[in-house]
Amino acid sequence: MSSAPYDQVQTLYRTLLVFATVAVLILAVGLVEFVHFEPPGQTTGAKARIVGVFAYDPAKGTTLGTDRSAFARTEEFAAVVDWSGLPANLTVDARWYDAFGSMVGRIGPSTPAQLGNFSIVPVKVPQGLRHNLPGHYTFVVERLQGGVPVEVLGRRFVLVESS
């Protein structure tokens, strides 16, 4: 009895399929991660009112001037949130993210009522640096569930200019 010689390309092919199966599992884990942090159907309809983004005086803890969308990197700035319009039973917080996605300012989490007196959310200069890093900054007011942010109730973008 004779048999055709085994083609070793088939070994390569099967090995590739095994790697591809692992790859599909990795992508599936990524998808699960995405759904965990972006759970569908999490819309309450609540909207946070972001009063504006203003220059900030850290010594006095107050904002200055008018609502702006761009700042020099040497300027300090903060967002002002009106918590009063949000339902009292929500757990919320407010965060600043810089262009690298690092959190550079936060207030909360707590209920809107407890946060009522903390309407100013300043951006903190990263440790070891003298000024803010340039780029697009994102400010978000989020609703949390089980300690995880699940819904953005308000969002603002600000540009920190490089010069």
Partner 1 sequence: MSTSSYTTPPAANPHPRLRPGRYGIAVAIAAVVVITLIASSLLNYVYLDTIPGRTSLYGLLAVALIALGTYIGVRAFTRDRASRRKHLIRAGVLLGLGTLLWLLVIDIFVFTQSAGPVVAAICALACLPTTAFGLFVVRRMDRNEKEPWRLVLVAAAWGAIVATSLVIWGETLWEQTAQRTLVPGPGLDASTAFSAGLLEELAKGLAVVLLFLVMRNDFDDVVDGIVYGAAVGLGFNFLESVAYMTNLYGIFAPEGIGWYAAGLQWYGRQGLGLFFGHTTYTAFIGAGLGIARQLPHKRQKAFAIVSGFVIAIAAHFSWDAWVQFFPIDNTLFGLVEIHLRTLIMTGPFTAALIALLIFGIRYEAIGLVDQFRKEAATGSGAILPEDVPVLASPWRRLKQRLRAFQRGGLRAYFEVARLQSAQLDLAMERWHRERQEIDMPLEAEDALRQRVIQLRHWVPAA
Please state, in angstroms and rounded to a whole number, the distance separating the CA atoms of residues 163 and 156: 22
Backbone angles phi, psi at 106, to 5 degrees: -160, 145
Q: Does 37 bind partner 1 (CB under 8 A)?
A: yes
Which range, of 52-60, 63-71, 112-120, 130-138, touches partner 1 by CB under 8 A? 130-138
Q: Does 23 bind partner 1 (CB under 8 A)?
A: yes
Which residue's entry shows tokens 């599992």?
Answer: 25
> Parallel, antiparallel, or unpaired for β 91-97 and 135-145?
antiparallel
Q: Does 93 bind partner 1 (CB under 8 A)?
A: no
Q: Find, among 118, 99, 98, 100, the residue nearest to 109 by Cα.
A: 118
Q: Does 162 bind partner 1 (CB under 8 A)?
A: yes
Contacts to partner 1 by CB under 8 A: 8-9, 11-13, 15-17, 19-20, 22-24, 26-27, 30, 33-34, 36-38, 73, 95, 97, 101, 128-131, 133-135, 138, 140, 142, 149-152, 155, 157, 162
